[in-house]
C-alpha cells in the first residue's frame, strides 16, 4: 500500500509540475483510501461546458460515491459524473474499430466510454462498453428538458403572416366573401427544426402548425386547419375554398370603424434527445384592422 501511495504521490507531483500552479478555480481532490488524485476545475473557462440552468427541470446533484461531498457533474476532460458508481464517463468519438476487445463482441450495439473513477484503486478507470448511457450521462432528463427549452426558443415561431381580402386599407362589404390565409414559411407554418447541445447530449425540436383560429372582431371565429388559400382576382366574388367568412354587419361604430381581427396559430412541437422526448403546444398571434361597410343604394 505504501508503495502505491508513494507512486500516486510522485505521479501527482509530476502532474502538478507540468500543469503549473493551480488557478483560482482549481483544487486537488484525493479521495480517502484511494490512490488517484485529480484536479477539479470549478470555473470551466468558457461557455457550453456546464449544464445550463433553469427552464425544463431541476439541476442534477452530483456527489462522491457513498458521500454527500459535491463534485462537478461535468468535467471538460473526464466527461459526465455518475452517482451510481462514482465515475466520470466520456464517449469515445470516433469509437474504437469493431475488432477492438473493448466491444466485448457487441459491435455495433452500445457505446464505448472512457471512464475515470477517482476513488477506485489502480488505474481508476479505462475503456468500458455499455449497452446504454451511464446514469447521469448528459445530466439526465432535467438537462435534456432544459436543452429542449433552448431548442424551442431557437425555432423562431411567429404568428400568421396575414393575407386578407379585402386588402388592408380597402373596405369590404357586408355579405360578400372574405378570404383569410397566411403566407407560408418555416416560421409561420413550418415544419421547422432547431437544435441545442452540450458535450455528450443533443436535443432536436421540430414544430409544425396545426390550425389557425381567426377571431373576426364581431364576436365570431373561424377555425382553419390549413394555411388558407391566397386570394386570386380570377376568384371574383366566390368564397375561399379553404378559409373564408362573410360579415353580417358593418364595422361602423367599432374603434377606428374597423373590426380587430386576431389570427392565432397553434404549433405542435416535438423534441427528442438525451434518451428522452416530449411534446409541447404553443400559440402565436397576429392581428389587423378590417373595415366592412354596407352597400348603399341610391334611389332616384
Average pLDDT, the chain: 78
Residue 169 DSSP one-character state: T
Between CA 265 and CA 268 the distance in angstroms is: 10
Flag whether pLDDT at 46 surpasses 80: no
pLDDT tens-digit map of 226-242 = 999 998 877 666 899 99
Between CA 37 and CA 48 the distance in angstroms is: 26
pLDDT for res 84:
87
Between CA 224 and CA 211 the distance in angstroms is: 6
Return the higher-pLDDT residue of 16 and 292: 292
Flag whether pLDDT at 113 surpasses 90: yes
Return the higher-pLDDT residue of 222 and 237: 222
Within the chain, residue ranges assigned H as helices are 2-19, 140-153
- Strand, coil or helix: 182: strand
Flag whether pLDDT at 167 surpasses 90: no
Predicted confidence band of residue 60 (pLDDT cuts 50, 70, 90): low
Predicted confidence band of residue 101 (pLDDT cuts 50, 70, 90): very high
Between CA 284 and CA 167 the distance in angstroms is: 22
Amino acid at each position: 500500500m505504501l508503495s502505491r501511495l508513494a507512486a500516486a504521490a510522485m505521479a501527482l507531483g509530476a502532474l502538478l509540475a507540468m500543469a503549473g500552479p493551480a488557478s483560482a478555480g482549481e483544487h486537488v481532490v484525493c479521495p480517502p483510501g484511494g490512490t488517484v488524485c485529480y484536479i477539479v476545475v470549478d470555473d470551466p473557462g468558457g461557455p457550453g461546458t456546464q449544464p445550463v440552468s433553469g427552464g425544463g427541470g431541476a439541476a442534477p446533484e452530483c456527489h462522491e460515491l457513498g458521500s454527500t461531498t459535491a463534485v462537478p457533474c461535468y468535467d471538460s476532460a473526464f466527461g459526465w459524473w455518475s452517482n451510481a458508481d462514482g465515475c466520470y464517463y466520456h464517449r469515445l468519438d470516433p469509437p474504437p474499430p469493431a475488432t477492438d476487445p473493448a466491444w466485448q463482441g457487441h459491435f455495433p450495439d452500445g457505446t464505448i466510454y472512457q471512464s475515470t473513477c477517482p476513488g477506485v484503486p489502480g488505474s481508476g478507470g479505462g475503456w468500458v462498453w455499455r449497452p446504454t448511457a451511464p446514469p447521469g450521462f448528459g445530466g439526465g432528463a432535467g438537462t435534456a428538458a432544459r436543452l429542449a427549452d433552448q431548442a424551442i426558443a431557437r425555432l423562431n415561431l411567429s404568428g400568421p403572416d396575414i393575407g386578407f381580402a379585402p386588402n388592408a386599407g380597402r373596405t369590404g362589404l357586408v355579405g360578400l366573401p372574405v378570404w383569410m390565409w397566411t403566407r407560408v414559411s418555416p416560421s409561420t407554418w413550418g415544419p421547422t427544426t432547431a437544435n441545442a447541445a452540450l458535450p455528450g447530449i443533443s436535443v432536436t425540436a421540430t414544430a409544425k402548425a396545426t390550425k389557425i383560429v381567426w377571431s373576426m372582431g364581431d364576436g365570431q371565429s373561424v377555425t382553419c386547419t390549413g394555411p388558407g388559400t391566397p386570394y386570386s382576382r380570377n376568384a371574383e366574388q366566390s368564397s375561399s375554398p379553404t378559409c373564408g367568412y362573410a360579415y353580417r354587419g358593418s364595422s361602423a361604430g367599432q374603434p377606428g370603424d374597423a373590426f380587430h381581427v386576431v389570427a392565432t396559430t397553434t404549433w405542435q412541437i416535438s423534441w427528442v434527445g438525451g434518451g428522452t422526448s416530449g411534446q409541447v403546444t404553443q400559440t402565436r398571434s397576429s392581428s389587423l384592422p378590417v373595415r366592412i361597410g354596407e352597400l348603399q343604394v341610391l334611389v332616384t
